[in-house]
Copies of this chain bind each other. A is one copy, B any other.
Amino acid sequence: MTTPCIITVAITGSVPRKEDNPAVPITVAEQIESTQEAFEAGATIAHVHVRKDDQTPTSDPERFARLGEGLRKHCPGMIIQFSTGGRSGKGSERGGMLHLKPDMASLSTGSCNFPTIIYENHPTLVRELADKMMEYGVKPEIEVFDLSMLYQALRLADEGVLTKPLHVQFVFGVKNAMPAIRDVLAFQVSQLNKLMPEATWTAAGIGRHQLEVNRWSLELGGHCRT
């Protein structure tokens, strides 16, 4: 018996622009088309950000609504995950689309350094986003950019603020956050297996670390993220 592999596809992200890569889907129509291709190729979860007309990231609920509708129509059965990432808005704005009830939404459970900024997830904001996800029945994907974020998520689950079992994503290769080190993923997975054996997890490597981290993830029993 094998557990089916969950493949998450992150089609746009919040940073790359058409100037960097003409293939990056920016408009809602481009995002739907690109996700449909991934869905037909076997992807299970679509992790999505939205952009303004000038390509800058936003958490505008109207754009998320159009994208969500298009994905439900063109990728029936695909799990839709909205990003509440910090580049898309300030504070509470980041959860301003959760009332649209996507299947999932990302949730960072701590703060850390990023290449040129502090990635700010104040304890109050973490709690507020978690409460909203609970209210709207949205399953969080816990984004672990540094080890303590794993323990904070486990604590929030114990306190009933997050629903068990957790789905966790370990992120590697963001400059000034966690470098891509296999020992770290192995340790994180061993801790998650010990403290919440029923949890599911993926690992993501940014940029040049993507394939390497996917390989570790498969070797250690996790799911895949592109």
Contacts and interface: CB of A to CB of B under 8 A. Distances in A.
B113 A121 contact: yes
Interface residues of A, number: 30
Contacts of A179: 148, 151, 155
Contacts of A113: 110-111, 121-123, 126, 148, 152
A146 B176 CA distance: 12
B176 A152 contact: yes
A163 to B, nearest CB: 20
A119 B113 CA distance: 11
A120 interface: yes
16 contacts: A110-B113, A111-B112, A111-B113, A111-B118, A111-B119, A112-B112, A113-B148, A116-B123, A146-B146, A146-B147, A146-B148, A147-B147, A147-B148, A148-B179, A151-B178, A152-B176
Interface of A: 110-113, 115-123, 126, 145-148, 151-152, 155, 176-179, 181, 183-184, 187, 191
